Amino acid sequence: MKIEQDIKLDFQDVLIRPKRSTLNSRSEVDLIREIYFKNSKRTWKGIPILTSNMDTVGTFEMYNTLSKQQIITCFHKHYDLEDYPFGLDPNYYMLSTGITENDWLKIQLLIKKLNPYFVCIDVANGYMSSLMDFVKKLRKKYPSITIVCGNVVSREMVEELIINGGVDIVKIGIGNGSVCTTRIQTGVGMPQLSAVLECADAAHGVGGYIISDGGIIIPGDLGKAFGAGADFIMMGSMFAGHDESAGEIVEENGQQFKLYYGMSSDTAMNKYAGGVAKYRSSEGKTVKVKYKGPVEDTINNLLGGLRSTCTYIGAHRIKDIPKCTTFMRVNNQVNNLFK
């Protein structure tokens, strides 16, 4: 048994210290980033934000809106082969896959049909040896695919996946999602800010990149995640409840809602796996998210907040945010008199 004595931090535990800035307007901030991936030898250009590959937000309808903003939609893995339309811009979507034999057969058919840039190998526990086996198999067969996989929260696994697995981007985050109950059910996880700090340092040292996956509650959290070294940010709940999100609008007491649930919840497993297997437990919950209208309004709010972060700290580009960021630990970050 071992105890780490240093305190691990979440986004809510810090604020970013403002500093002298030569930026006079939010319009001067450039949110487009160009990234070269060492293993796939491909270059990507866009705003490094993604939807989670959950069936409520990783939808074709979401792609139709977000691709216009040069933002990536990570499609959920439960779409059938024939569901995928031709003509998708490969810069702004990711295919998702699990690691079973059926998943391997399906992803090969999808790659043949679509010729994508990105494939996301998605498992809750990125420490399984079977994940590494799948990653190596995918990299060997498709050397020019940009591979994303996870989830992990520690440096040694990030380095292992990039160096020995040929992964380009590692997803960081365990148990921090708003509809994830992994920490409650298992006691496993790490606060997201500290996980990003540790894993970004590890990835950048070996020529790879990371996605901060989950834990974004307010627009200001994007600046904190980028400030900690995240190259991409993946969000689920921020994209839930919109016109482009899956599911019907339901009305209760005069208010409109949409369902949002974790992919390890009872709802998802009943939908796709015939229920929760007896050897495991549900690690997600189902909630009703207040209907938000078009996702474009939310995107403009998120990007506006991020541009403001940059003007407060003198960061002309997203890539500059970590160099301009000083975190302060706080015991309270907002005044909640009026909620």
Sign of CA dihedral 294, 60, 68, 94: positive
Half-sphere exposure of 271 (CA within 13 A, CB side): 15
Question: Can you tell me the distance from the alpha carbon of 171 to that of 126, in angstroms, rounded to the nearest whole number?
Answer: 9
Residues that are catalytic = 180
What are all long-range contacts of 4-9, with beta carbons under 8 Å and residues at least 24 apart? Answer: 8/190, 8/191, 8/193, 8/194, 8/195, 9/191, 9/193, 9/194, 9/327, 9/329
The answer to whether the CB of 262 falls within 8 A of the CB of 181 is yes
In the chain, % helix, strand, coil (3-state, to 5) comes to: 35, 20, 40
For the record, the structure tokens of 9 come out as 């931090």
Would you give the DSSP letter of residue 69?
A: G
For 96, counting Cβ atoms within 10 Å of its Cβ (0-12 exposed, 13-18 middle, 19+ buried), the class is buried
In terms of C-beta density within 10 A (0-12 exposed, 13-18 middle, 19 or more buried), how is residue 219 classed?
middle
* Strand duo 146-152 + 14-16: pairing: unpaired
Contact 15, 326 (CB under 8 A): no
